[in-house]
Structure 1
């Protein structure tokens, strides 16, 4: 991640995670179905037959397991809900379901998906909450706290509203919802107990969420445990460097992760594996001279004025990096340009001047 983000302090939305996790805790304790829910949630179960059905399927499925498999599910649950420690501690094992739990695991995932896709937005759930429970209101509060640019890539604005529907398809009209979308930092297919945990729900852009990360697990690469940034806690963020070098008489700008050989580097490797930011940015930087540098240097033929323009733009970009697409990387790359000698800067200014002269003569 490029910067730490802040979760809105309070929302009725957070209550559903309490309900969800309390259900499993009471289930593991051997309580009856009606005893597995927090006060006030029974009205939701009565009004939403599908929510009730999903919980009941998990309850019945769990109670049909033998004691060994029950213990295994409890182990997986405990492992997953303690996820926050895993981002910085490599030797914590993350439990996975075995083949014998495959059928039951489908029920667990189905409940998790439905709670996020549908129950969160139901009128009966909002009515049952003691605090406002509107996803769009929460999303607006998030943007007020953190800006509108994706904290994972810095190149796109966060996704706005979109169709959210259960993965097993719509059956009822009230299951069709149009609302703000969040990324499950730990995918709900792999970590279903965290499906409505807002410590695991982080807004990001569509490219990061759907095209790059998808169902990538930031804590496991295959069966190998990996470290990862945690955007709500980690004060240390990815360390990047820009490089402007000459290749075949042309100057090429690129960015890469600094090789620090420490925990930050390990987390940065996971960040790039999941969100593929470095190749995405470097693809854009193929047009650095014409798209970013030329507009900044247009009309400037003096090195000192060029330096002033660079310094001023770097300050502006740093101020607006959370509000303006690509501002983070512009500041990084213009900072690299500023390190060049006066002769190199003069050559860049002359190149820009020649480029614009050519355009005006057409």
Structure 2
């Protein structure tokens, strides 16, 4: 990805804390507990208040939450210590998203299909529970939102810190700011339909433009290629991001009739080739960037150098534009404008 997000701490993270407690302290200890009761939450009083309120409120989301927790508890009671140990390992691995993206061999991701192989009943019911956790009919319930806050508030605080204003996965589209009433969707980087335990983890949730989310990534898997092989992927909250390199070569001098076949794109640096290939495959980057270079925007980039150079030569004005683009790479698609104009210059298209 072009740049990474800065992670923010927010009360919404408390929902993941609740889930951690349910999984590790309720379900994984079910085999040594006689029966399910709200007393199991005595060491997590805020969560106890939530499940108790859900019990007496008769809401669809609350009833689902409480009912599924108890149903899963009863299945865990039938599991062997080895099976529970395996589930705990999968839980910790799936919630260590940064190391999964690095393809660290110490962290092995699991899917619902893996859990179903371990226990035929458990996989489907866990999927129903975790997919439903990220839903407004649950998260908007007052008994819960009073504890964890609202996702709209998280979004507003998020974009106040992450002020680039562009989708980091493509750089082509704006991300809604705190000054508009709408907000971008949060992408489940590890798809919630495939990977258990991470549907409400904000380490797995990142605001993303609609074109990247619905039009390109969808439910594609960043951790495995189409053949099922593990691979490296960019982590959206990497504290030490790489500086992206984009090189463009044009195989035609006819800017007005440029086609994708006339453009060669190269991404770097080479030490992150695997992450770059994953990024390209997930978000259709090469296709979209080539299309941009064949658009009216690219024609404007070119004509601007010729038409607005004033008393300077086009080459002199080009140098100014390239310097400006370097300083503000994500404004006006400068990260792509710069290599495109450099490619034009290499063909002597600005020489009069």
TM-score by length of 2: 0.79
Give per-residue Cα distances to partners, 1:145-199, cap 9 Å, x unaligned.
Answer: 22221101101123689xxxxxxxxxxxxxxxx9752011111122221111111
Q: Which residue of 2 aligns with 1:273?
A: 281
Q: Which residue of 2 aligns with 1:41?
A: 47
Query: Aligned pair in 2 of structure 1 residues 80, 312: CA closer, same or farther (>3 Å)?
Result: same
Counting matched residue pairs gives 321
Distance 2:176 2:118 in 1: 38
Q: Give the C-alpha shift of residue 13 in structure 1.
A: 0.3
Give per-residue Cα distances to partners, 1:15-52, cap 9 Å, x unaligned.
Answer: 00011112110121235453157221223222322321
Q: Is the 8 A contact 1:153 1:277 kept in 2?
A: yes
Distance 2:209 2:315 in 1: 33
Give per-residue Cα distances to partners, 1:318-359, cap 9 Å, x unaligned.
Answer: 45444x452322233234445x37x54225xxxxxxxxxxxx
Per mean C-alpha deviation after superposition, the further-off stretch among 247-256 and 237-246 is: 247-256
Distance 2:324 2:129 in 1: 46
Q: Which residue of 2 aligns with 1:105?
A: 123
Distance 1:102 1:180 in 2: 36
Distance 1:228 1:66 in 2: 34
Within a 5 Å distance, the mapping from 1:198-217 to structure 2 comes to 198-217=202-221
Distance 1:143 1:158 in 2: 8
Q: Give the C-alpha shift of residue 144 in structure 1.
A: 2.2
Q: Which residue of 1 aligns with 2:22?
A: 23
Query: Aligned pair in 2 of structure 1 residues 143, 67: CA closer, same or farther (>3 Å)?
Result: same
Q: Which residue of 1 aligns with 2:135?
A: 117
Q: Give the C-alpha shift of residue 207 in structure 1.
A: 1.4
Q: Give the C-alpha shift of residue 87 in structure 1.
A: 1.9
Q: Which residue of 2 aligns with 1:285?
A: 293
Q: Give the C-alpha shift of residue 301 in structure 1.
A: 7.5
Q: Is the 8 A contact 2:298 2:337 kept in 1?
A: no
Match of 1:327 among 331, 334, 342: 334
Q: Give the C-alpha shift of residue 103 in structure 1.
A: 3.2
Q: Which residue of 2 aligns with 1:171?
A: none
Distance 2:67 2:184 in 1: 26
Q: Is the 8 A contact 1:75 1:95 kept in 2?
A: no
Q: Is the 8 A contact 2:185 2:210 kept in 1?
A: no
Query: Aligned pair in 2 of structure 1 residues 332, 57: CA closer, same or farther (>3 Å)?
Result: farther
Q: Is the 8 A contact 1:157 1:325 kept in 2?
A: no
Give per-residue Cα distances to partners, 1:247-272, cap 9 Å, x unaligned.
Answer: 37667554322372x3x111111111
Q: Which residue of 1 aligns with 2:268?
A: 258
Q: Which residue of 2 aligns with 1:155?
A: 172
Q: Give the C-alpha shift of residue 225 in structure 1.
A: 0.9
Query: Aligned pair in 2 of structure 1 residues 308, 134: CA closer, same or farther (>3 Å)?
Result: farther
